[in-house]
Structure 1
Amino acid sequence: MEKPVIILGAKGIAQPALEIFNSNEVTVYGFLDEDESLHGTEINVVPVLGNPEDDGYLKLIGKKSEAFVAVDDNEYRQFLVKLLNERRKTQPINAIHKTANISSDAIIGHGNFINARVHIGTGAEVGSHGIFHTGAIIDHGAKLDDFVQVGAGAVINSGVTIKKGAFIGSGVTVVSGVKIGANARVGAGSVVIADVEEEATVFGNPAVAMNK
């Protein structure tokens, strides 16, 4: 990759994303974050330049640099992706750790954060703007929509379907063939053996819906 990268967001996954780009010998030009107290500071000698909605910095994206959205909060992540799509006519790039193992016939979208030792299996389909933490396993034939987050060490077994915006906590196991609905949340360490409705929160072994 010839162009440097501007990272939108300077908290959460921003520093791991910087490490990923550095390890792949991709230059990070700087961070943009809405928190003004971070402006003028540095993360591993890379400066936090200003606000992600500042056109003075946004105009660099597309022509002179690529962008990556390093924001954990799904709602704000979607806002920033839309901002890049509409104002810069560009898609964020993927941040893929060198130790991730992605099958040659898996399908991967744009703007994903794929950390160390993540495995994405044969025929798996991963949408765009997902977050996949260390050691997560997406087994063969699984289908994940956009903006899905999968915690460290979680195992998404073969044939699982996960809809847009769902959150899968660390150490979760989702058994083969299960469908998890849009914006559902699965608590850490849970074992999911049945379909989860959209917007539902489940937890436990086996996972059951939590009372609102």
Structure 2
Amino acid sequence: MDKPVIILGAKGIAHPALEIFNSNQVIVYGFLDEHEKLHGSEINVVPILGHPEDDGYLKLIGKKCEAFVAVDDNKYRQFLVQMLNEKRKVQPVNAIHERAYISTDASIGHGNFVNAQVTVGAGAKVGSHCIFHTGAIIDHTCELEDFVQIGAGSIINAGVTIKEGAFIGSGVTIVSGITIGKEARVGAGSVVIADVKDGETVFGNPAAPIKK
């Protein structure tokens, strides 16, 4: 990556995203965050410049800088991605740690956060704008749609399908062949042995729906 990166967001995954770009010898120009109290401060000597919707900074993206969206909240993440697509006609770049492993025949989209020790296996298909925390395993032939989040140390076994916007907590095990529905949530430490419906929240070993 020849151009420096502007990171949208300065909380949550923003700090580890900076470390990922540093690990790949990519310069981070600065952060943009919606909270004004952060403006003018720094993360590891990299400045928080202003607001993500400030055209003065956005105009740099696509010409002089690349962009990465470092926001955990999926709705705001989607808003910022759409803004970059429409205003700047760009897709956010991937942030892939140098100690992550992505199989040579796996496919991966744009704007993904892939932290250290993550494994993406052979034939896996990963969409765009996903978040994979430290040590997550995405085994061979899994299919993950856009805006999926996988917690640290979770094991997604072979042939699992995870639909758009689903959230998988830390330390989860999902057995082979399972489908996790759109915007479903799986609580930390759960063992999933049956399909999870769209919008459903499950927890436990074996994971069971939580009644609202």
Task: Please report the TM-score for the alignment, with normalisation by the length of structure 2.
Answer: 1.00
Q: Secondary structure at the match of 1:49?
A: strand
Give the letter aligned to residue 56 of structure 1: G
> How do residues 5-44 of structure 1 correspond to structure 2 at under 5 angstroms?
5-44=5-44
Q: Deviations over 1:23-82 (max 9, x none)?
A: 111000000000000000000000000000010000000000000000000000000000
Identity %: 76
Q: Which runs of 5+ in 2 are unaligned?
A: none
- Partner of residue 190, structure 1: 190
Between the aligned partners of 1:18 and 1:106, the Cα distance in structure 2 is: 25
- Partner of residue 174, structure 2: 174
Between the aligned partners of 2:46 and 2:99, the Cα distance in structure 1 is: 23
- Partner of residue 58, structure 1: 58
Q: Deviations over 1:64-120 (max 9, x none)?
A: 000000000000000000000000000000000010011000000000000000000
- Partner of residue 201, structure 2: 201
Q: What is the root-mean-square deviation of aligned Cα atoms in Å? A: 0.3
**1:159 counterpart = 2:159:** yes
* 1:161 positional shift: 0.3
Give the letter aligned to residue 97 of structure 1: H
Q: Secondary structure at the match of 1:87?
A: helix
Between the aligned partners of 2:124 and 2:170, the Cα distance in structure 1 is: 20
Give the letter aligned to residue 129 of structure 1: H
Between the aligned partners of 1:194 and 1:68, the Cα distance in structure 2 is: 35
Q: Which runs of 5+ in 1 are unaligned?
A: none
Q: Deviations over 1:171-196 (max 9, x none)?
A: 00000000000000000000000000
Q: Secondary structure at the match of 1:7?
A: strand
Runs of 4+ in structure 1 over 3 Å off? none
Between the aligned partners of 2:179 and 2:25, the Cα distance in structure 1 is: 38
* 1:167 positional shift: 0.1
Alignment: residue pair count: 212
Q: Secondary structure at the match of 2:208?
A: strand
Give the letter aligned to residue 144 of structure 1: L
- Partner of residue 128, structure 2: 128
Between the aligned partners of 1:183 and 1:2, the Cα distance in structure 2 is: 35
Between the aligned partners of 2:151 and 2:36, the Cα distance in structure 1 is: 29
Give the letter aligned to residue 14 of structure 1: A
Between the aligned partners of 1:152 and 1:195, the Cα distance in structure 2 is: 21
Between the aligned partners of 1:115 and 1:66, the Cα distance in structure 2 is: 19
Task: Please report the TM-score for the alignment, with normalisation by the length of structure 1.
Answer: 1.00
Between the aligned partners of 1:101 and 1:94, the Cα distance in structure 2 is: 14
Give the letter aligned to residue 199 of structure 1: G
Between the aligned partners of 2:137 and 2:23, the Cα distance in structure 1 is: 22
* 1:124 positional shift: 0.2
